[in-house]
Structure 1
Amino acid sequence: MSKNNFNINGLTSEEVEISRIKFGKNTLKYKRDNTILDALKSLAKEPMIILLLVASLIYFISGQTGDAVFLASAIIIVSALSLFQDSRSRNALEKLKDFTQPNCKVIRDGTVQEIKSEDLVVGDSLMVEEGASITADGTIIHSNDFSVNESILTGESLAVFKDQDNENRVIYKGTTVASGLAIATITHIGNNTKLGKIGESLESIKEEKTPLELQINSFVKKMVIAGAVVFLIVWGINYFHSYNLLDSLLKALTLAMSILPEEIPMAFTTFMAIGAWRLMKMGIVVKQMKTVETLGSATVICTDKTGTLTENKMSLAKVFTLTAQRIVTPGEANESEKTLLKTAMWASEPIPFDPMEVALHQSYTDLHETDERSNFKMIHEYPLSGKPPMMTHLFENAEGHRIIAAKGAPEAIMNVSNLTIAEKEQIQTAIKSITADGYRVLGVASSDFTGNNFPKTQQEFKFNFKGIVAFYDPPKENIAQVLNHFYDAGILVKIVTGDNAETTAAIAKQIAFKGYENSLTGDDLMKLSELELQDKVMEVNIFTRMFPEAKLRIINALKAKKQIVAMTGDGVNDGPALKAAHIGIAMGKKGTEIAKQAASLILVDDDFSKMVDAVAMGRRIYTNLKKAIQYIISIHIPIILTVFIPLALGWVYPNILSPVHIIFLELIMGPTCSIIFENEPMEKNSMVQKPRPFVSSFFNWSELTTSIMQGLAITFGTLFIYQYSVSQHFSEDQTRTMVFTVLIVANIFLTLVNRSFYYSIFTTLKYKNNLVILIIGITILITSLLLFVPIFANFFQFERLNLSQLTISIGVGFISVIWYEFVKIKTRINKHAGK
């Protein structure tokens, strides 16, 4: 909260409450779709639900009421699980939507306050600055060089200039400030704004599916088609054997159920939504689902310096003037150096928010007994622009006394000042001396321009060079450790900053940044051809004096080199590059709304170390999703083949499993893949591996082969038990019970073995995931009830096994999975031998 210099008091607390009661909150409210009804409609279209319904009806028609009721109950259970997972995903995404609502600045009770945009009320004095998103409609009552991009409403990309003395003085919700500052009295909020009235069309825009989502959907569709084909074949075989239409249809439905991997899309949605929610709890807001799957693939992180690698706590450290010819601290300033600091303050925003400008205002307060700020009114402003950049402010008091002050990159100020060669050399020597210690420098100048016909650009003024002000922004304490985490993870880090090379190199050296010795400026970068630049961006790690076009070229050149690029940014000028990067990262506190809108991820506390956590979470989510899907593929194979082979080959008991057995196995597999694997912790070697190639298919042949081999091994186990039972002249019910037991045991051990495809089961048992014990415990309990409680055993056509039969079934199930532990041992030996 800070005092304002505009003599605007705004609403009182009481007036705010009255306005809120009268006009409501500043939120857009539309008739939302009934999410529960939508979910139910979606469920009704699910192939598994349709198959269960058909099978249940056939059982009813056939007079097998018990089986019919069980399958009808299964429909309810499957639906409940799907709705639960859908609810988790929706809730996680709703929380993300709430979290990404922008804040805004208002003047209330004479002070500047930052509030949530939904708390804005009619009558409020809204303050908007360059880069801000306007959160309600209002009428301008004060402005300085103010322009707005209204393309969201008009489609016109050019900024529109507005002020309080113009007919065009209304600002609209959803537009963004292109330059300057304005204070507006709010006239309309929420649905009554211009944007609110056309908001329904914006709400209807659907997000495109991600490459991974498309791959998974394509895989599931192929399995559905395969299931349909096999269903028709099996139905035909059964019918021509028995000429019983309903019985043959049931047997075909059994196989169709075993083929459908309906858990896969559910697992994908759950993993991505819950992953985004987990990131949000860590202070990382993910705006787009695709970002979650991209995070683990990042190969390059382009970061700015100020506020990301450094504390962004600018302290005014040194001053230099040509007249004094010395470099001193502000406390040692003589009259000319005090004048320099005063001019630098006037070149800053009247209400400072940038740390350097805050420091300059504070130095003015400390060094000058008389505060003249309230006597002067800003009459014109030239926002930060140019290459290198500078900014100019014009103030005037009631007596007509005028102050024209400029500050910016020393090169920019020197270029517009009347300096001799000797003076330029003196300034350059001072700059080198100051920047060698990591100080950030600004040039300061003033002008004696008279008249009101102001030049079109600030560079046309004739400036008098005042001197150099230097700030120290210390590196963050943990930043060297953060960089090492990125280096260990195989991720390149590049500094892309508007600061000069000397200051950047000094800071980079202090934090042990790799490649601090070499740098490239924005101007030099723009001279390179595309091919030259593509090679250069891989060699150079520090880019200085950057501007929007140069930043964008860096991102595009890295992408051309097949890099997955993450980029941090906070300013208006970072927007294009943030949008172009695979992962645009905006700062939650110091980031402008334009940067946040362009980015796909927001660091709430501006803590760059969170990116290590984000990358780790991205790798964890991707790895766990892959484990879940490999598990689904592996366990579906033995179910499919155990149903199909005895039927196709005409074995003694051709229909060893019925729909009730298949649906029971499905009920076990669903929670296992989407709950246990989603909750798995990150493997300890995840952040010391190179990023996975983003272009590679999710189902690569090596991993798919592993899943197929595991599935075939379990199939061999079930069919071995089948033939063993037949050879021992066991009944069909005993054979079914033993085969089913093998499948359950294999399912349990597959869950444990596939928790890692590298570390042994003894290592993964130490992982902290309480859901493993819970889900496996429930599975064992329910299976025991089915095998040993007569009413359940009779329903499932099971027969109580003796100790020998039970032991051999458990043993075969265990062996059919545990063999993969020897593959892991070989993998670890080869890994160590290769080092």
Structure 2
Amino acid sequence: MQANNFDVRGLTSEQVQKARDKYGINQLKYKQVNGIWHDIVSLAQEPMIILLLVAAAIYLIGGNIGDAIFLAFAIVFEVAISLYQDSRSRDALSKLKEFSQPNCKVIRDGEVQEIKSEELVIGDSVMLEEGSSIPADAEIVYSNDFSVNESILTGESLAVLKFSLKENNQIFKGTAVASGMAIATVTAIGNETKLGKIGKSLESIEEEKTPLELQINNFVKKMVIIGAVVFIIVWLINYLHTHSVLDSLLKSLTLAMSIMPEEIPVAFTTFMALGAWRLMKLGIVVKQMKTVETLGSATVICTDKTGTITENKMTLAKLFVLSTQKTSNPDDNDQLNDEERDLISVAMWASEPIPFDPMEIALHDAYTKLIDNDIRPQFQLIHEYPLGGKPPMMTHIHQDQSGKRIIAAKGALEAMIEASNPLNHEEKQQLEQAVENFSKEGYRILGVAEADFIGDDFPEAQQDFPFTLKGIVAFYDPPKANIEKVLNDFYKAGITVKIVTGDNAATTAAIAKQIGFKGYDKSITGDELMKLSDEDLQKEVSKIQVFTRMYPEAKLRIINALKKNNEIVAMTGDGVNDGPALKAAHIGIAMGKKGTEIAKEAASLILLEDDLSKMVEAVAMGRKIYTNLKKAIQYIISIHIPIILTVFIPLALGWLYPNIFSPVHVIFLELIMGPTCSIIYENEPLEKNLMTKKPRPVTDTFFSWKELATSIVQGLVITLGTLSVYQYAVAQGFDEAITRTMVFTVLIAANILLTLVNRSFYYSIFTTIQYKNNLVVLIIGLTMLLMAILLFVEPLTHFFGFEMLNLSQISIAILTGFVSVIWYEVVKGIKRLK
């Protein structure tokens, strides 16, 4: 942690504890929804639960106590499963919330510490710097060119300068530091802050549903409407036959239950929440649930260079002094002359007194190592021009007690040349040659300048100082060891990678070439990009992979142009200036270690380890979740069709046994299907071909006609199997109990095999059986055990209206169920051959 050079002691550990006991933690607390009670109330409004309650009531009124008790048990079981799934989702989300808590720096016991923002207490001395979010209301006690963006409170987008003077020293929770640094004493936390008091209105804001969620909800609503219509038709048919209101209601409720696909919304919620939890275990914090469903379709990743492609471990590698036109290595301490030492000194004075940028840390380290007389304690920073301009530069003015000043600036070489006294022809040539040599090596270069100025009426713009260019400092930031593999993984997955950096073209190209980056030899600068029309830019962003000398407006235009080209855009960033582009991207990715709090707030994902390889894992996880959710829903559709038609067709066509199933049979099937779709399929591993496919197009809907057709055909073939066994049993003269038992056995056998076959719509069952998923064995084993109990334990066999089958009957039922599903393996084989 950086040093405390401000003579501020802060609170002691004992004072912190006393303040926490008295005022609590720094957390906004609004009206909390009672999780379990809220879930129970919501479940009571679910169509399936309502149908079960009505059926149980009818059985009770009709004197069928056993059936009523079974349905009551089914209601409890259904509610228990739903509560369990909801609690898993809630736990996953609460862990995510805990992980995404912002951090802040405080001075306690005289030392700078990094803590979670919610651990702040009243009286704490909090350190704030550019890019951080203000964690509590506070009063400034020390500041340096400190400005704050208060738009969250005032709506005003321009940053406001703040000082330690009484009339302008208040800062507020939720606002953002636009420039400079400050130390402030915390005056209010949690709900007592200005934001906390305004934030009560947040209670009424509901989270917007995602496109996928809307598609699924619309599908379920349509099925509910169809169920209601069919319910009325079936009730009328039954009533005309029996003239019994209760009996007709019971039989029509059986069909209505079979139509309700209530497992689908449960599966969606479970998959998204547990997907986010699995990503968190990989070191990826998901801030927005919708990101989980978008991840798998990312087509372009725009990545920064420094700290993402490179290590972000800067070392001062080379020096070029303009006055001597000499290049030197700062490691050769004994060989350095006064001009070279002076260049290092000026570059250090142009840096923050307490450095946090890797280049500035390297300059301070070099100064400590190479300069014999350290005069830093004698000087104070009296004025600062924060990093700004296009290309950017920054200026610091230091002064000692005698009034001696050091005015030092550093920044992009183009900016330093523009701001300095004109160079002669020879100086320009030497400078260009040095830049070319450094860039070929992949060095990152900064121009360094110095100025003299008398008086306290400093210019409004830093460029107005009479600067003299001192030379160039060059840094080396090596590429990460794994970055070449990461790029190849993206390329294999059909994802385009673009470098968007503030560095110059030559340095970026050199590093890009080293790591095997595709398209390293062609680039465009931020200024060139801003001159393009929207139409031309849309064409250029498709062709160019390297974007250099970029600034916020240019980055934002790149993202928006890619989006107009129907790309799904992921963007990595860590600085304040990345905020707009991170927010605009479909998937904003902030770095957990070096990222500013502003970048983390704007992003939808945070990589805790600043490792781009985690994005490969995130994309794989996104694709896996989306594919497994599709498998689950296709399974639900396929197995619902035979249940619906097996109940409806014998009744509608007036077959010998018109009411082959009652509500108890349908609810038993529902209880088997729920865990299968939302537990087995959620736990399925990534299929090996998923990361070699191109991302799915943004225009694709979740329910494509091809996939729906596959599920419908699977369902119809299983129906053919159930109804064939029905007719076979009737033709053999079997009674209703045996017919029912055989038909039910066909459905259970088909359900078990469908679970296995639909684990992949490409690979064979012999491949998928090797997938590691212990829940498959558990759930299928449990299903087989329950079915055996129903067939061979006399009281239960009788309760369900079954009859014990002989070997021939049970073999025909199981074989029919097997054949009605296994045919799809032939379709998969043809797919693989193609």
Q: With the length of structure 1 as denominator, give the TM-score of the two structures.
A: 0.98
- Counterpart in the other structure of 1:177: 177
Q: How many pairs does the alignment contain? A: 830
Contact 1:375 1:398 in 2 (8 A): yes
User: In 1, Cα distance between the equivalents of 2:255 and 2:62?
Assistant: 19
CA deviation map 1:602-652 (0-9, x unaligned): 101111110000000000000000000000000000000000000000000
- Equivalents in 2 of 1:126, 1:631: separation in Å? 55
CA distance in 2, matches of 1:335, 1:111: 36
Instruction: Summarize deviations over 1:455-489 as a string: whole Å, max 9, x none.
Output: 11111111011110010000000000000000000
- Counterpart of 2:20? 20
Partner of 1:674: 678
Q: Spell out, residue by residue over 1:191-224, the C-alpha distance to the aligned partner (whole angstroms, 9 max, x if none).
A: 2222222232224322110000000000000000
Name which of structure 1's ranges 327-336 and 556-565 shifts more when overlaid on structure 2: 327-336
Secondary structure of the corresponding residue to residue 406 of structure 1: strand
**Counterpart for residue 798 of structure 2:** 794
Amino acid across the alignment from 2:45: K
Look up the match of 1:815. 819
Distance 1:370 1:205, change over 3 A: farther
Residue matched to 1:145: 145
Instruction: Please give the alpha-carbon distance, in whole angstroms, between the structure 2 residues aligned to 1:30 and 1:297.
Output: 36
Q: How does 1:575-594 map to 2 (within 5 A)?
A: 575-594=579-598
Deviation at 1:36, TM superposition (A): 1.2
Bigger mean CA deviation after superposition, 801-810 or 363-372: 363-372
Number of the residue aligned with 1:390: 393
User: What corresponds to 2:154 in structure 1?
Assistant: 154
The residue identity in structure 1 corresponding to 2:399 is E
2:757 to 753, 757, 764: 753
Q: What's the secondary structure of 1:22's corresponding residue? A: helix
Quote the Cα distance in structure 2 between the aligned partners of 1:436 and 1:489.
Answer: 31
Q: Is the 8 A contact 1:414 1:424 kept in 2?
A: no
Match of 2:608 among 599, 604, 608: 604
Deviations 1:58-109 (A, max 9, x none): 0000011100110011111001111111111111111111111100011222
Partner of residue 266, structure 2: 266
SS of structure 1 residue aligned to 2:167: coil
**TM alignment of 1:489-568, pairs within 5 A:** 489-568=493-572
Q: Percent identity?
A: 71
Is residue 373 of structure 2 the alignment partner of residue 370 of structure 1?
Answer: yes
- Does the Cα contact within 8 Å between 2:566 and 2:698 map onto a contact in 1? no
Distance 1:265 1:79 in 2: 14
- Partners of 1:246 and 1:276 in 2: CA distance: 47
Per-residue deviation, 1:354: 0.7
Q: Where does residue 405 of structure 1 map in the other structure?
A: 408
After superposition, where does 1:251-650 map in structure 2 within 5 Å? 251-332=251-332, 333-422=336-425, 423-650=427-654
CA separation in 1, counterparts of 2:785 and 2:512?
A: 59
- Distance in 2, Cα, partners of 1:84 & 1:485: 37
Letter in 1 for 2:127: M
Aligned-pair distance for 1:166? 4.9
Asked whether the equivalents of residues 284 and 608 of structure 2 are also in contact (C-alpha less than 8 Å), the reply is yes
- Give secondary structure in 2 for the equivalent of 1:331: coil
Q: Could you tell me whether the CA contact under 8 Å between 2:348 and 2:360 is conserved in 1?
A: yes
Which deviations, in whole Å up to 9, do the C-alpha atoms of 1:671-694 show, x marking residues without a partner?
000000000000000000000112
What letter corresponds to residue 364 of structure 2 in structure 1? H
Paired with 2:175 and 2:423, the residues of 1 have a C-alpha distance of: 46
8 Å CA contact 2:393, 2:412 repeated in 1:
yes
Whether 2:238 is the aligned partner of 1:234: answer no
- 2:78 pairs with 1:75: no
Q: Larger deviation: 20-29 or 739-748?
A: 20-29
Report the CA distance between 1:3 and its aligned residue: 1.7
Task: Please report how far the alpha carbon of residue 568 of structure 1 lies from its aligned counterpart in structure 2 after TM superposition.
Answer: 0.4
Is the counterpart of residue 730 in structure 1 residue 730 in structure 2?
A: no
Corresponding residue SS for 1:126: strand
Alignment equivalent of 2:784, drawn from 780, 783, 789: 780
Q: Name the CA distance, whole Å, in 2 between partners of 1:421 and 1:683.
A: 64
Tell whether 2:53 aligns with 1:37: no
Q: Conserved in 1, the CA contact under 8 Å of 2:31 and 2:203?
A: no
**Aligned equivalent of 2:701, options 682, 690, 697:** 697
CA apart distance, 1:399: 1.2
Deviation per residue, 1:257-312 (Å, 9 max, x gap): 00000000000000000000100111101111110000000000000100000000
One-letter amino acid matched to 1:288: Q
Counterpart Cα distance in 1 of 2:230 and 2:81 = 27
CA-CA distance at 1:726 after TM superposition: 0.2
**1:50 matched residue in structure 2:** 50
**Contact persistence 1:5–1:374 (CA under 8 A):** no
Q: Deviations over 1:98-142 (max 9, x none)?
A: 111100011222222111112212221101111100111111011
Superposed CA deviations along residues 152-198 of structure 1, whole A, max 9, x for unmatched, are 22222221111102511011111111111110011122222222222
Aligned partners of 1:400 and 1:6: how far apart in 2?
20
Contact 1:395 1:404 in 2 (8 A): yes
Tell me the alpha carbon deviations over residues 754-805 of structure 1, each in whole angstroms, 9 at most, x when there is no partner: 0000000000000000000000000000010001000000000000000000
Matched, 1:654 2:654: no
> How far apart are residue 16 of structure 1 and its match?
2.2
1:833 alignment partner in structure 2: none
Whether the 8 Å CA contact 2:499–2:546 is kept in 1: the answer is yes
Q: Report the Cα distance in structure 2 between the residues aligned to 1:631 and 1:799, rounded to whole angstroms.
A: 29
Structure 2 gap ranges (5+): none
Q: Aligned-pair RMSD on alpha carbons?
A: 1.0
Aligned mates of 1:336, 1:14 — CA distance in 2: 51
C-alpha deviation, 1:18, in angstroms: 2.8
| 3-state SS of paired residue (2:11) | coil
CA distance in structure 1 between the aligned counterparts of 2:258 and 2:176, rounded to whole angstroms: 54
TM-score normalised to structure 2 length: 0.99
Kindly provide the amino acid, as one letter, of the partner of residue 277 in structure 2: W
Q: Are the aligned partners of 1:125 and 1:186 in contact in 2 as well (CA < 8 Å)?
A: yes
Output the CA distance in 2 between the equivalents of 1:192 and 1:227: 51
Aligned equivalents of 1:446, 1:420: Cα separation in 2: 15
* Counterpart residue type for residue 416 of structure 1: A
Q: Aligned partners of 1:22 and 1:397: how far apart in 2?
A: 43
Mean alpha-carbon deviation: is it higher for 583-592 or for 197-206? 197-206
CA distance in 1, matches of 2:280, 2:605: 10
Distance 1:353 1:61 in 2: 75
Once structures 1 and 2 are overlaid, which stretch shifts more, 168-177 or 749-758?
168-177
Amino acid at match of 2:543: E
Other structure's SS at 1:477 match? coil
For 1:715, which of 691, 698, 719 is the aligned residue?
719
Deviations 1:362-401 (Å, cap 9, x if unpaired)? 1111112332222222111111111100111111111111
1:692 counterpart SS class: coil
The answer to whether 1:112 aligns with 2:82 is no
Q: State the shift of 1:529 in Å.
A: 1.2
Supply the AA of the counterpart residue of 2:113: Q
Gaps of 5+ in 1: 831-835
